[in-house]
Amino acid sequence: AQSVSQHNHHVILSEAASLELGCNYSYGGTVNLFWYVQYPGQHLQLLLKYFSGDPLVKGIKGFEAEFIKSKFSFNLRKPSVQWSDTAEYFCAVNWMEGGSEKLVFGKGTKLTVNP
Amino acid sequence: DVKVTQSSRYLVKRTGEKVFLECVQDMDHENMFWYRQDPGLGLRLIYFSYDVKMKEKGDIPEGYSVSREKKERFSLILESASTNQTSMYLCAISRDPTYEQYFGPGTRLTVT
């Protein structure tokens, strides 16, 4: 079955620390990859996406993610976090072939950034 | 700007009541989705619709039904609410099922 794993449930950082959130998916083939963010009290919004091309994608607010096909991974990074990055982050994968074209979400990683 | 609105932000219902959650979009997207979001479980797909009057079951359809009579409107129905359906319900839309989805603000439903 298709699945998406986010390794960390809760990450706590101080401002200016670097961030890396892991995301792995269950099997290969052509995939569309997404990171979503949910700030406290707000709706889910798209942070960045990968469909094809350069495996290093840049999103909003200084976030980036790298697609490593051989590792079935799409990790999210930010070189220097801010207090305003406190939120829950969700990785999501859509398998383009052999799948049901449904978006499968990871369980989320809660990020707390202390000032 | 994409606009996805949901009928209520907060809802409290009693066990056994019939509950309607409504989602309306202004983007003319074919695809609409209902998810529930629970702490530690992420988002789980309940139902989706790729066209008017068309629907497909998601991963957890039991206890729910949906209706899509107009392109812009997608309703989630809890035929007989139970306490284990207390959750945050999110509606989403997309132009294509493989593209990014845009989410509404969510309805926090409490069933007592």
- Assigned domain for B53 exists: yes
- Assigned domain for B112 exists: no
pLDDT tens-place values along chain B, 112 residues long: 778 999 999 999 999 999 999 999 998 999 999 999 999 899 999 999 999 989 999 999 999 999 999 999 999 999 999 999 999 999 999 998 788 999 999 999 999 9
Give every CB contact of residue A70 below 8 A, 6+ residues apart in sequence.
Answer: none
- Assigned domain for B52 exists: yes
User: What CATH number corresponds to the domain at position B80?
Assistant: 2.60.40.10
**Per-residue pLDDT tens digits for B90-106:** 999 999 878 899 999 99
| Domain housing B63 | 4-100
Rounded Cα distance between A3 and A105, Å, is 8
**Per-residue pLDDT tens digits for A77-106:** 999 999 999 999 999 999 876 555 678 999
Residues A102, B45: C-beta atoms closer than 8 Å = yes
Q: Parallel, antiparallel, or unpaired: how do β-strands A10-14 and A109-114 relate? A: parallel
Q: Using a CB-CB distance cutoff of 8 angstroms, which residues of chain A are in contact with residue B42?
A: 90, 105-108
Interface with B, mutate which of A95, A102, A110 (most B CBs under 10 A): A102
- Assigned domain for B78 exists: yes
Residues A34, B100: C-beta atoms closer than 8 Å = yes
Structure tokens given for B12:
């409290």
Structure tokens given for B51:
């066209």
- Assigned domain for B40 exists: yes
Q: Using a CB-CB distance cutoff of 8 angstroms, which residues of chain B are in contact with residue A90?
A: 42-43
In this prediction, residue B84 carries a pLDDT of: 97
Interface with A, mutate which of B55, B88, B103, B108 (most A CBs under 10 A): B103
- Assigned domain for B110 exists: no
- Assigned domain for B109 exists: no
User: What's the structural domain count of chain B?
Assistant: 1
- Largest interatomic CA distance in chain B: 38
Residues B42, A106: C-beta atoms closer than 8 Å = yes
In this prediction, residue B1 carries a pLDDT of: 74
In this prediction, residue B52 carries a pLDDT of: 92
Q: Using a CB-CB distance cutoff of 8 angstroms, which residues of chain B are in contact with residue A106?
A: 42
**Where are the domains positioned within chain A?**
4-114
The DSSP 8-state label assigned to residue A82 in this structure reads -
As its CATH architecture, domain A4-114 has: Sandwich (2.60)
Task: Give the distance from residue B29's alpha carbon to the nearest chain A alpha carbon, in angstroms.
Answer: 16
Rounded Cα distance between B61 and A5, Å, is 22
Residues A90, B41: C-beta atoms closer than 8 Å = no
- Assigned domain for B56 exists: yes
